[in-house]
Chain A
Amino acid sequence: MIISPELFQQIIFYVFATFTIGSAMAVVTVKNTIYSALFLVLCFFNTAVLWLLIEAEFLAITLVLVYVGAVMVLFLFVVMMLDVKQAKASQLKQSYTKAALLIAAAMLVQLLILFAYKLSGEIPSNELVRQEQGYSNVAEVGMTLFTQYVYPFEIAAVILLVAIVAAIMLTMRKREGNKQMDASKQININPAERLRVVSMKAEKATTQAQSKEEES
């Protein structure tokens, strides 16, 4: 059994590329929303593997961390909470499908032409670009992000801030009759307002009048 590293890598590439495309197709074709979301997770995973193959390890891991670890969890969370009904087969076969297929085909053709005609001279055909040992992907990404693209990066941060502000502004509301506790109110309570300590002589029998006084 002889497998050269290049061939090995190509085999890995084609296996995971097939999985990526297959799971991406599954996302839009399966009827169950939960399956759809899970296939999207699978798709992200396979994409991450493809990125690993081109030695973009930081991006690959970040993809998993952000999209799989956080975004898709919230997606699943929402889908499970909403109890989305399964789409019926008839719903999927509506007239939009044809139009959508047409647009998708058109975009595919465009991209194919773009790569075939425009960039054919620029894609290395059989050689893999290898970085030397000790090359740090993280440092490279960091340098580019914080020097060349620092301005767009900062604006992107502001966009996220606006998103948070907008989301909180639009969703945080005090409902009528909400029984939520206010911690600071609870802590700052003065016992004297709530409780009266009555000092009494110890007696053998309690009369009704006294027990009433205790209750009050």
Chain B
Amino acid sequence: MIETLEFLIFDNLIYILAIVLGVVLTVAYLTYFERKVIAFMHARMGPNRVGPRGLLQPFADVLKLLTKEIIFPKNANKFLFLIAPIITLATAFAAWAVVPFDDGWVLADINAGLVYVLAMTSLGVYGVIIAGWASNSKYALLGALRSAAQIVSYEIAMGFALVGVLVAAGTLNLSDIVRAQEGGFLNWFWLPLLPLFVIYYISGVAETNRAPFDVAEGESEIVAGFHVEYSGAAFALFFLGEYANMIIISALTALMFLGGWYSPFTGDSWIAQPSIFWFLAKTSIFLYAYFWFRASLPRYRYDQIMRLGWKVFIPITIVWIMVVAVMKVYHIGPWWN
């Protein structure tokens, strides 16, 4: 009994370390990828100086940020000022605990996984609010208030979209949700839940404060929003948190609507085997879409964001939950046979 407990703790620590390291490395190269993608869309070169093809650029950036001084604004609340980026980062990482990478490859296979993810992603807003308030700066506070209102609004649409998934799969466990989509491309939930799929992803973009929903940062209006006063390592943590959140939103969209680790092909060939690569590939599609949005769409105005969330997304999700329930009751399609 004693050994099992210690073994459990040790074992889990290794898993946690593996996930955290993986996410951090992904974030590092995601920034590189982002700059390359946007450069490509702008017909530029992107980073190309540090290392071959600029591949060492992320490390140069990290080194730069870590060696810079953290400046505390006058009259800022030091404790809260420092803890805000940590909260952002911690909540972004915490959600990874229940993400299944492949069948059985999951740190904590809990029953209420879906709710847990929703809870953790909604906690990220604390980092933003606290940062905005503790900075003792008007711009930061404005950014924080915008962000809080936006995140709370879109969380509702997001939650309703997840209710649709819950109805479709009949479980809150993320692994079981993926297993419910076993089969080829057409068996995944993206088709019967198409409106929810779109709404979930767009709400996810809004939740992570990315373009075109980035009024919380809004460079042209409020400089950089909630993190305007941050520099050095503290800023790096915010950056890390934001990108980790993007990855988790993409990963969850892949899990819940695109069948996670299942292959789009059917049959017995090697390409039809379920594997972690499918999961990573699907996640990458959504990550790419993030950058695509950023390069091509102008920023939404604040009232437009609110209108989209409350008057378009929430009614659609409510109606579609009903549709999904009816489809499930009458065993429609390849999904609920």
Contact = CB atoms under 8 A, between A and B. Distances in A.
Would A and B touch once assembled, by the CB under 8 A criterion? yes
A4 to B, nearest CB: 7
B155 A61 contact: no
Given A3-B5, A41-B126, A69-B119, A81 B145 contact: yes
B118 A5 contact: no
B248 to A, nearest CB: 15
B2 A137 contact: no
Interface string A54-83: 000110011011001110011011001100
Nearest to A65: B119
Contacts of B1: 4-5
Contacts of A74: 148, 152
Interface residues of B, number: 29
Contacts of B2: 2-4
Interface in B72-111: 80, 110-111
Given A5-B1, A5-B5, A38-B130, A73 B125 contact: yes
Given A34-B133, A70-B155, A138 B112 contact: yes
Interface in B1-44: 1-2, 5
- The secondary-structure label for the interface of chain B is helix
Contact of B116 (A3, A61, A68, A81): A61
A64 B145 contact: no
Nearest to A58: B112
Interface string B193-211: 0000000000000000000
B111 A58 contact: yes
B137 interface: no
Contacts of B145: 77, 80-81
Contact of A62 (B111, B115, B130): B115
A117 interface: no
A96 interface: no
A76 B155 contact: no
Contacts of A73: 122, 125-126, 129, 148, 151-152
B6 to A, nearest CB: 8
- The secondary-structure label for the interface of chain A is helix
A4 B5 CA distance: 8
Interface in B156-181: 172
Nearest to A76: B129
Contacts of B110: 57
Nearest to B134: A34
B258 interface: no
Contacts of B116: 61
Interface in B50-68: none
B203 to A, nearest CB: 14
Contacts of B119: 61-62, 64-65, 68-69
A18 interface: no
A76 B129 CA distance: 8
Instruction: Identify the interface centre among A64, A137, A180: most chain B CB within 10 Å of its CB.
Output: A64
B96 to A, nearest CB: 16
A145 B183 CA distance: 34
B325 interface: no
Contacts of B129: 73, 76-77, 80
A69 B115 contact: no
B310 to A, nearest CB: 12
Given A2-B2, A64-B123, A73-B125, A58 B115 contact: yes
Interface string A80-123: 11000000000000000000000000000000000000000000
A137 B111 CA distance: 8
A29 interface: no
B305 interface: no
A57 B111 contact: yes
B322 interface: no
Nearest to B159: A65
Contacts of B80: 38
B141 interface: yes
A70 to B, nearest CB: 6
Interface string B115-147: 110110011011001100100000001001100
Interface in A27-46: 34, 38, 41
Contacts of A10: none
A34 to B, nearest CB: 6
The 8 closest A-B pairs by CB, nearest first: A69-B122, A65-B119, A64-B119, A58-B112, A61-B115, A77-B148, A136-B111, A61-B116
Given A58-B111, A183-B307, 17 more contacts: A2-B2, A4-B1, A5-B1, A34-B133, A38-B80, A61-B112, A65-B115, A65-B122, A68-B119, A68-B123, A69-B118, A73-B151, A74-B148, A77-B149, A80-B129, A80-B145, A81-B145
Interface of A: 2-5, 8, 34, 38, 41, 57-58, 61-62, 64-65, 68-70, 73-74, 76-77, 80-81, 136-138, 180, 183
7 contacts: A5-B5, A38-B130, A64-B119, A65-B119, A70-B122, A73-B148, A138-B111
